[in-house]
Amino acid sequence: MPVGAGALPARGSDFLQLAVGDLPAGGKAEWLAGRLRQAIADGRLAVGSRLPPTRVLAAELRVSRGVITEAYRRLAEDGHLQGRRRGGTVVVAAPRAARGASEGGPERGGASPFSRAPGPDVFDALRDAPADVDFTPGRPDLTTFPRTAWLRAERAVLAELSAEHLGYGDPRGAPALRRAVADWLARMRGVRVAPDEVLIVAGTAQALTLLHQVLRADGIDAVAVEDPGSLGGRQHLANGGLATPPVPVDEEGVRVDALRATGARAVLLTPAHQFPTGVVTSGERRRELLGWAREGGLILEDDYDAEHRYDRAPVPALRALLADRVCYLGSVSKLLAPALRIGWLVAPSRHRAALVDAKRFNDLGNPVLPQLVLARLMESGGLERQLRLLRRRHRDRRDAMIAALAEHLPGGRVHGAAAGLHLTLTYAADVPDTAVAAAALARGVKCQPLSWHRQLPGPPGLVLGYAATPPGVIAGGVALLGRTLRELS
């Protein structure tokens, strides 16, 4: 059919069959963002899909490039898109409706992770449960992983790598990484160690696993744990046949009188930022702990997120104060990504040889190439730059969560705001926190109930990670949590 005089030919984009004629007179960016959200939700744009360049799509739709840029920006803030420079703009997350039925979840007939006492697979079940808003604690902002810096370090390592480095490595870890870690601990945590004292492990989880047999060989059959304290840490110790008597935590840290009462000769602690309450062990309590250790006790210090601090001065590690009675555990899971599976264990001299043997017979040592790349990143200052970036982004997200909690859960009490990657919220309502977490998950909001991390009775609460979630998404998720708690109360 001929085009009438003065009329534009019917044009648009093959991308999602967007048509020029469908564009509204105003609010073009909002309209396009809505179309993109719907396409991600219904699966037309799967995770990994690359969007057209802004210049190309703007030309096809006859709008300014700013309209396309603004639409992409809105979805990036929601956590659905990520700009990857030469890699373009890519879909990195999909809302619940877009995920396949094979993923299961409570709304698809699967058992809720909160329907029973947490077992060994509970974190796998919760991770697989679909949700629009994920407040799982312990995750940094993985979209900021320094891909360019990592690739640059990897290229440099491969360019210099000799053939012999491709053979079996030292089970203690690559010497370059042990040197880099020793330097990092001295500068960032006040822990002075020689590189030969550092054992590279596959994260804190493996460090605890290696410690099982070493502690049992030393006659230790119980490791006391903080209460509330990490369910995951407790599970790893129990898996090794070790009892985990609980020790209450108050506003100054773990209660040393209660620790003595357990009779345990070892204790697992998070003294710089207690998980999940966020308490920093006070000076007086530290002195009591060190006194207990000098009497023959062993402290397993999990320094899991001490570098992430916002409103307070750094707190020295216990290892810096009593090296021969403290076994120090750290990793890059909260600094770079858990997927790297790289951490370190610094043990008292009497346990070091046995731990190296345990590591050797467990896996012959961590993969060497990632160790060398991480060493290069640390030596170049790249890891420290990454930490500064994360602190700024995480602080903004923490502030967004605190503001949202004040608005939507004004009766709750927030714990642990000065540092870390999560907040803990306790509330007065007589509603089990597992019921709140289950109802929130059914609405698309994922979090952990505080009771998961308790062995002793205590007030209900929720453990809410904020670091991996954009501020706008945080506000919406907290609003849903507030509505859920009000309806259950």
- pLDDT score of 116: 87
- From the CB of residue 460, how many other CB atoms can be counted at a distance below 10 Å? 22
Sign, CA dihedral 56-60-64-70, equals negative
Q: Tell the burial category of 387 from Cβ atoms under 10 Å away from its Cβ (0-12, 13-18, 19+).
A: middle
Read off the pLDDT of residues 437-480 as tens digits, 9 standing for 90 and up: 999 999 999 999 999 999 999 999 999 999 999 998 999 999 99
Sheet holding 246-250, edge to edge: 198-201, 343-346, 326-331, 298-302, 266-269, 223-227, 246-250, 253-254
3-class DSSP string for 123-153? HHHHHHCCCCEECCCCCCCHHHCCHHHHHHH
- From the CB of residue 443, how many other CB atoms can be counted at a distance below 10 Å? 16
Sign, CA dihedral 87-93-98-103, equals positive
How far is C-alpha 404 from the geometric centre of its chain's CA atoms? 21
Residue 211 · residue 300 · CB < 8 Å: yes
- DSSP, residue by residue, 406-460: HHH-TT-EEE-TTBSSEEEEE--SS--HHHHHHHHHHTTEE-EEGGGG-SS----
Q: Where are the domains of the chain?
A: 12-96, 101-144+385-488, 148-382
**What letter would DSSP give residue 111?**
P
Mean pLDDT of 51-62: 90
3-class DSSP string for 277-339? CCCCCCHHHHHHHHHHHHCCCEEEEECCCCCCECCCCCCCCHHHCCHHHEEEEEECCCCCCHH
- DSSP, residue by residue, 149-204: HHHHHHHHHHHH--GGGGS---TT--HHHHHHHHHHHHHHH-----GGGEEEESHH
Residue 253 · residue 233 · CB < 8 Å: no
Looking at CATH, the fold of the domain delimited by 148-382 is given as Aspartate Aminotransferase; domain 2 (3.40.640)
d(CA 383, CA 334): 12
Mean pLDDT of 318-333: 95
More confident residue, 38 or 275: 275
Looking at 3.90.1150.10, 3.40.50.1220, 3.40.109.10, 3.40.1410.10, the CATH number of the domain 101-144+385-488 comes to 3.90.1150.10
CATH of domain 12-96: 1.10.10.10
Mean pLDDT of 275-290: 96
Q: Tell the burial category of 119 from Cβ atoms under 10 Å away from its Cβ (0-12, 13-18, 19+).
A: exposed
- pLDDT score of 96: 54
Residue 10 has pLDDT above 70, yes or no: no
d(CA 240, CA 470): 38
Q: Side-chain half-sphere of 250: how many Cα atoms within 13 Å?
A: 9
Residue 306 has pLDDT above 60, yes or no: yes
**Of 38-42, 366-370, 462-466, where does mean pLDDT reach its minimum?**
38-42
Confidence of residue 102 (pLDDT cuts 50, 70, 90): very low
Read off the pLDDT of residues 160-189 as tens digits, 9 standing for 90 and up: 999 888 889 999 999 999 999 999 999 999
Residue 480 · residue 133 · CB < 8 Å: yes
- From the CB of residue 487, how many other CB atoms can be counted at a distance below 10 Å? 10
Read off the pLDDT of residues 125-171 as tens digits, 9 standing for 90 and up: 999 998 989 999 998 888 899 999 999 999 999 999 998 888 899 99
* Secondary element (H or E) of residue 92: none
Q: Which amino acid is at 93?
A: A
Question: Interior CA angle at 461 toward 131 and 241, to 5°?
Answer: 85
